[in-house]
Chains A and B, each alone.
Chain A
């Protein structure tokens, strides 16, 4: 086996792993019961699925001799932004009461999503 063949098989394995996790993410989104549990499947399984697909793309680039690290950047941006969109969606879910209600915050606080605001001026400590 030459390096070229090993590289080709590695690309195939990464593609299969990526496709599998992406499919599981889609199945989870479809089949889980309420809005908050449904959020889990795409946020987690999606990062892994796309991560493996990007790894396949990068390996394929290096095998063909035109390798670059662009995929690493995509992965880095994805891992930084995925939690933020998940956080936005869960905040919306809390507002819409689409899951069972969260427990009250301890020590007479409230959750920052649920703070009552007068007009547009929110309390300064409330911005998360």
Chain B
């Protein structure tokens, strides 16, 4: 029984996510559509299971929601800052910089989330990763003090992600 369940649901979280996405995609909620969503939620993870051999372990959903709210708030603030820079600062007074962020995170999922967060927030874009995956290369639009930005990324985002992906 347990093996059958494991075979049917190689990724329970992905199945749930697909069902929710399918239901939101529909104009109105009906049982038929929910069942069809469940069928998709079984078929898609099953047929792609070869490429996702491991189930992600140790993920705290509650802290992730708090993190998403924090990041959304930062995106709003960052947008106003970047808009201000774009509209008022002449190019000659702009100080773009490359910043190297050493990583304490090791899980690929956690590093992807961190890199995505960096790209979405304050005037920074994550550009590259070092060959052994121990640091990120980040480009900042305006960095009078690159070390401060590096420390902020580490304290504000990485420390929280370490709590989420245990």
- List residues of chain A with CB under 8 Å of any chain B CB: 20-21, 24, 27-28, 31-34, 36-37, 39-41, 43-45, 47-48, 68-70, 72-73, 79-80, 82-84, 86-87, 90-91, 93-94, 99-100, 102-103, 105-107, 109-113, 115, 123, 125-126, 128
Contact = CB atoms under 8 A, between A and B. Distances in A.
Given A41-B86, A68-B27, A83-B119, 16 more contacts: A28-B82, A45-B79, A45-B86, A47-B120, A48-B75, A72-B24, A73-B24, A79-B120, A86-B119, A87-B125, A87-B126, A102-B137, A105-B130, A109-B132, A111-B137, A126-B131
A105 B96 CA distance: 18
Contacts, number: 142
B128 interface: yes
A19 to B, nearest CB: 12
For the residues of A in contact with B, the DSSP-based class is helix
For the residues of B in contact with A, the DSSP-based class is mixed
B100 A70 contact: no
Interface residues of B, number: 39
Nearest to B116: A83
Q: Which 4 A-B pairs have the closest CB atoms?
A: A83-B119, A90-B127, A48-B79, A28-B86
B38 interface: no
